[in-house]
Structures are given as structure tokens and as C-alpha cells.
Structure 1
Amino acid sequence: MLTDQPAQTLFLYPTPVILHDLDGAGYLNPDLTERILAKREADAGIKRSNYGGWHSEVDMMVWAEDAARVILGEAINVVASATADIHPHGKRDFEFDVQMWANVSGPGNSNQMHCHPGALWSGVYYVDVGEDSPDVDVEGELLLVDPRFPTNVMYMPELVNRYPDGKPQYSQTPIRPKNGRMVLFPAWMNHSVRPYKGTRERISIAFNLMVSVADA
């Protein structure tokens, strides 16, 4: 006789997205704000995924080296603990190369959907989210896209899987900015930034981490 055993669902191959709040951000961010705004005054910047706003060249390690190293050092420590080397001959030593740039976004500015080819990890650090109270929602969230999209909805729109807690799996996940918060995610992950609706400018820093095996 068959017994009524509960089904077990395995959620395989999750995508890591890391939220990390920096200690000392209250001291670091005012200095970064001053440097970034001064750089914007001296440099027209470039156009990438941004609709409006200012996007610096990817050389922030040059014009804000000491502050940049603080952020990147934190990022490298975090992703190193979340990355495993499964080489059959044992753990290897790795070197990190970086690209880093600043963004200043005004009301209505956004970033179109994109990913970062050529990197292993990508991240964003929020210097000044542009809202004076955490109770005020000015939108402009980082939007991360499920790499399996459209999955179920291709067959039947609005039919999605459930997480173990019963909540539905949406194809896009918004991450609300917070001063001093770093968000790290795989560089292949499609992402965008929703239109920002605050009255003050929002200042953030984005970066890519490239990894190679160190010379023996």
C-alpha cells in the first residue's frame, strides 16, 4: 500500500546576490561625495547604460585611489569567501583586476538593462541615495533579472514557481539603495536601474572584478 509521503523540492543552482553594509561609511561617504562631484565638474564623463545623469570613465582607481581601495578591498574579501576553487590539484592563488566608475543620477534618470561581459563579479556601492528619510520611497531601485526568464510564463503567463516559504518566484527582484550598502552579483546577471524620483542627486559607485590565476 502506498503511503502519502510529502514531496521534497530541491532548489538547485541558486544565484548569489550579496548585500554588505560597510563599517565606517559615515566617514567615507562625505569624502567620496566631494571627490565625485569635483570630478564631474572637470570631466564630461561617458555614455553607457545610463539614461541621463553622469557616468565617469572607468578609472576611479586613479582619481580616488585611497577611497576606492577601501571599497574594493571589502568587495574582494566578501566575494572571495563566496567563491570556491575546485581545481583537481588544489586551491590556487588568484589576482584581481578592477574597473570602477562613479554615477550621479538626477530626477528621472535610469539605467537600461545590461550585463558586464569579461568580469566575474560586479557590484554597486551607494554613497548618497538622495533621500533624507528611509521612510521616503524615491524609487530608483537596482533591478536584478532571473537568468531563466521567461521560464513558466512563456507557456502560461502569470504562472510561476513557489519558494520553500510559499512565496511566488518573480522574474525581477528590486534592491532598494541604502547609504553605505554594497550589492554584489555575478557579472553575467542582467540588471537595470529604475527611474529615480527624488529631488536631490543620487551618488553611487559601480565596479567589476576580473580574476586570473596568479603566476607561480
Structure 2
Amino acid sequence: MTPENEISIRPLFATPLLVFTVVDHRRINAELSRLILERETSQPSYSDDEVVGWSSPHDLSMLEWAADPLELLLGQVTQVATCMTELSERSSLHARQPEWRVAELWANVQRKGGSNACHPHPGSFWSGVYYIDVGDVSQGANGGELQLYDPRGCLPRMLAPYLRYSVPELHDAGASVSFTPSAGQCLLFPGWLFHAVTRYTGNAPRISIAFNLDPIIHKGS
């Protein structure tokens, strides 16, 4: 029996996850894969307690040894960030959109047993990851998925683990959402969103690039 009252349902506090496929990604991925795997064999991994696997330094040094393919990739990334961001009403420039630049980026190579512990990217409005080669990652097999955690924490599940809201958009309240990537896909999400990579059990290398973006705000004359 349904109530006679008309019910207006407004799911609140949405968290953006932007997913897009990079144009000309096959050519970009072939070049980046070659450069990153060469770097993996010649340079020690950046020290990061969160990561099981190899990664390059978390700075802008990758722009020096992978400049050409990164230029094609990052131009599209910053264009999407600009399109999807606006200045708020608190700004005197609220009619304008900020542009974006890459503040830091790094390459990741995960082989069998690799993972990335749960973490945010403090200080960044947009953070992201680009998938060059997902190795043997597939839906429900071999791990390596990106886990995105409800920023409200586990409270909804802790209070009533046997209940959930009847609105499908709220079924993930208090949980994590698993995303299975494809090569050529890029994801942008808020830097404060906790995320992780599940333990990868495939044999082929899983190769990605992570990055943070900083805004460039042009003031009017």
C-alpha cells in the first residue's frame, strides 16, 4: 500500500565522478606505456607507504621524460576540468570559469600483488587518474578496481546494516563503490574523496597516471 501523499525525493550531497575516454588514446597509450616501463626498469620507485608497486616521483618531472604524449593527454584533461567547474557566488568573478594546470603527476605500475591503500589528495579541488593499460583487470576478476568511498563515512551502515533507503541513488550510502577501468579512460573526482586500488592478481602490468590540478583564475580588468 502506497501513501496518498505526494512525496518529493531529492537525493542530496552528490559527489562528482567524471569519466571520459581520451581522444587518440591508443597512440597516447602506446607511447606512454613504452616510456613508463623503460623508466620502471631504470629508476627506483618513489617511496610511498600507501603503494605496493612502482611509481615515479610525485612532482612534475614526468613532463620532462614523457612530454609529447602528456601534452596530448593533459590538454584534454584540463579542458574537461574547465568545462565542469565554475566560480561560486562568493567570487566577484562568478561569471567566469577558472582554467586549470597540472600541479603534480606520477606514473604507476602495478604487477601481481600490487595495490594502493585508501587515501585522499589533500589540497586539490580536482584529482584524477588516467588508465594506460589495465592489464588483466576485468569485471569481478583479478582485482585492480578503483574503490571510491562514501565521504560521509560508514555511519549509515553502522547504525542499521540491515536497512537501506528505497531510492536507488542512495543504496551506496555508507559503502564504497567499485569502478572497473578500461584503457583510455580518464577519471576526475574531488581531491578530498578517499579512494584505493584493490589488490591486483593479474599477470600483465597495470599502468596508470595519477595527477592533481590547480586552478588558474584570470581576474577581469
* TM-score where L is the length of structure 2: 0.86
User: In structure 1, what is the Cα distance between the partners aligned to 2:50 and 2:197?
Assistant: 9
Given candidates 52, 75, 86, the residue that maps to 2:77 is 75
Q: Say whether residues 1:190 and 2:182 are aligned partners.
A: no
Q: Is the 8 A contact 2:139 2:180 kept in 1?
A: no
Q: Which runs of 5+ in 1 are unaligned?
A: none
2:102/2:211 contact within 8 Å kept: no
> Any stretches of 5+ residues in structure 2 without a counterpart?
none
SS of the equivalent of 1:35 reads helix
Q: Does 1:104 align with 2:109?
A: yes
Distance 1:73 1:27 in 2: 15
Alpha-carbon distance change, 7 to 135 in structure 1, aligned in 2, over 3 angstroms: closer
1:95–1:214 CA contact under 8 A, matched in 2: no
SS in 2 for 1:29: helix
Is the 1:56–1:101 Cα contact (8 Å) retained in structure 2?
yes
Tell me the CA shift for residue 214 of structure 1: 3.6
Aligned to 2:167, what secondary structure does the other structure show? Answer: coil
Q: Do 1:161 and 1:169's aligned partners in 2 also have CA atoms closer than 8 Å?
A: no
Partner of residue 171, structure 2: 168
Indicate the SS of the match to 1:34: helix
Are 2:129 and 1:124 equivalent residues in the alignment? Answer: yes
User: What displacement does 1:97 show?
Assistant: 3.8
Instruction: Determine the C-alpha separation between the residues in 2 that align with 1:157 and 1:135.
Output: 26
- Greater shift, 88-97 or 203-212, is seen at 88-97
139-148 vs 74-83, greater mean Cα deviation: 74-83
* Mapped partners of 1:53, 1:26: distance in 2: 24
Q: Which amino acid aligns with 1:201?
A: P
Matched, 1:23 2:23: yes
Distance in 1 of aligned mates of 2:193 and 2:87: 21
Worse-matched range after superposition: 198-207 or 42-51: 42-51
Secondary structure at the counterpart of residue 20 of structure 2: strand
Q: Which residue of 1 aligns with 2:147?
A: 143
Aligned partner of 2:158 in structure 1 is: 154
Give the conservation status (yes or no) of the 8 Å contact 1:49–1:111.
Answer: no
Partner residue, 2:7: 7
Q: What's the offset of the Cα at 1:215?
A: 6.0
Q: Supply the distance in 2 between the matched residues of 1:163 and 1:65 (Cα, whole angstroms).
A: 46
Change (3 A) 1:104 1:97: closer
Work out which of the residue numbers 208, 211, 216 in structure 1 matches 2:212: 208
Partner Cα distance (1:14, 1:114) in 2: 20
TM-score by length of 1: 0.88
1:33–1:127 Cα contact (<8 Å) kept: yes
Deviations 1:94-136 (A, max 9, x none): 452421100000111100000001111111111111129x578
The separation in 1 between residues aligned to 2:168 and 2:24, in whole angstroms, is 36
Cα distance between partner residues in 2 of 1:117 and 1:191: 12
For residues 158-214 of structure 1, the C-alpha deviation after alignment (integer angstroms, 9 at most, x for no partner) is: 43324356x722510011021111111101100000001111111111111111424
CA displacement, residues 15-59 of structure 1 (integer Å, 9 cap, x when unaligned): 100111112111111111110011112210212254421010122
Structure 1 residues 90-99 or 173-182, which shifts more?
90-99
CA contact (8 A) 1:109 1:196 kept: yes
